[in-house]
A = this chain, B = another copy of it.
Amino acid sequence: MKNISIRDVAREAGVSIATTSRVLNRLSTVKKTNKIRVEAAIRKLKFRPNVSAQRLASKRNNAIGLVIPRYSDIFHSFYALQVLEGVGLAVERLRLDLLLHITNGDSFLNISAVEGLIFSDIIGNEEEVDAVLEMELPCVIMNYLTKDLPVSCVAIDNFGSACKALEHLIKLGHSRIATITGELRSQVAIDRLNGYVKTLERHRIEKRQAYIRYGDFGRDSAVKATKELLRLKDPPTAIFAASDEMAVGAIQVCIENGINVPRDMSIMGFDDNPLALGFSPIPITTMRQPLHKMAVEATGILHKIITRKIKGKKDIVLSSELIERSSCQRLT
């Protein structure tokens, strides 16, 4: 039993290969009766076009690559998952194939297998990005804005989001507001910290060095930081944690120390990460990042670049949304 090809379908339908190809490609220049006959033949023969041949002949390949850096714990990251899901959904709608490439930078995706690339993050993949750019392969970078590189970016406004978060806390009457930062080697964490600082300045609220504690997005670092904050002679009345995981840690420490959240301490998270929120004793007020949307947008832009509906660089910045739950309260 050999594989059936377009030839067999053409013969079965009593038309030429060209006509068969036309109905395959939905070209409208086919007489209705012929179209029907071809479609019947396809069904009868269970014909599936050979994508490699299609790609070779058409010089299109209808596939994009998603490259994800291989950190040690990238796969414990809510971020990676949302990206994957968003891109996965988008490619399905766009009817593109998705080639997944998880790399620490030492291997490369075979470039001719895709028409474009999405980098879920630039960190750890700088070289590959450069290489791709040099080959003029369409590409978009997520979660990072660059003015220097001629490449489209889709990112979240972490600075603005942190500002929004702080505004909320201030509006609730807080002025003794601490923050637990994320891993400051990441731009994301820096932006969130800057948002914290700038908003305090804007409101002429005194900044205290002791209120800035350095975390790493993980729960343990927040546990440590929160304990330190509670030991302060003049402890804060609110904590802005740069991640929900850290917010959960902070809440747990407060509870263990008999401090009621939110009555005695307002705690705000960041991410709206259900993985973390599920473990919180009380619902956390947080900033919801449109990660999923970011991924969908990135895929859409890439597709438009590939199909030449966009030329040049196109950046998108998405903003986060305040999700009020019950871990923050008006200062009484």
The chain A residues found within 8 Å of chain B, CB to CB, are 46, 48-53, 55-56, 61, 63, 66, 70, 73-76, 80-82, 84-85, 88-89, 92, 97-103, 107, 110-113, 135, 218-220, 245, 248, 252, 256, 274-276, 278-279, 281
Q: How far is the CA of A99 from the CA of B100 in the complex (A)?
A: 6
Q: How far is the CA of A329 from the CA of B66 in the complex (A)?
A: 46
Chain B residue with the shortest CB-CB distance to A74: B85
Q: Which residues of B contact A279 (CB under 8 A)?
A: 219, 245, 248, 252, 276, 279
Tell me what chain A mostly uses at the interface: helix, strand, loop, or mixed.
helix
A296 to chain B, nearest CB (A): 13
Query: Could you say which of A48, A82, A89 has the most chain B C-beta atoms within 10 Å of its C-beta?
Result: A48
Known: A51-B113, A52-B61, A92-B102. 4 other contacts (CB 8 A): A46-B135, A52-B113, A75-B81, A248-B279
Top 7 closest pairs, chain A to chain B, by CB:
A279-B279, A52-B55, A88-B102, A52-B56, A75-B81, A75-B85, A100-B100
Q: Which residues of B contact A51 (CB under 8 A)?
A: 52, 110, 112-113
Q: How far is the CA of A274 from the CA of B291 in the complex (A)?
A: 22
Q: How far is the CA of A50 from the CA of B49 in the complex (A)?
A: 19
Are B278's CB and A112's CB within 8 A? no
Are B102's CB and A48's CB within 8 A? no
Q: How far is the CA of A132 from the CA of B59 in the complex (A)?
A: 28
Are B245's CB and A278's CB within 8 A? yes
Q: How far is the CA of A81 from the CA of B80 in the complex (A)?
A: 9
Query: Could you say which of A88, A89, A220 has the most chain B C-beta atoms within 10 Å of its C-beta?
Result: A88
Are B102's CB and A99's CB within 8 A? no
Are B274's CB and A252's CB within 8 A? no
Are B110's CB and A48's CB within 8 A? yes
Q: Which residues of B contact A75 (CB under 8 A)?
A: 81-82, 84-85
Are A220's CB and B52's CB within 8 A? no
A300 to chain B, nearest CB (A): 17
Are A219's CB and B52's CB within 8 A? no
Q: Which residues of B contact A278 (CB under 8 A)?
A: 218-220, 245
Q: Which residues of B contact A252 (CB under 8 A)?
A: 279, 281
A57 to chain B, nearest CB (A): 9
A-B contact pairs, 10 of them (CB 8 A): A48-B110, A51-B52, A51-B110, A51-B113, A52-B56, A73-B274, A75-B81, A85-B102, A92-B102, A92-B103
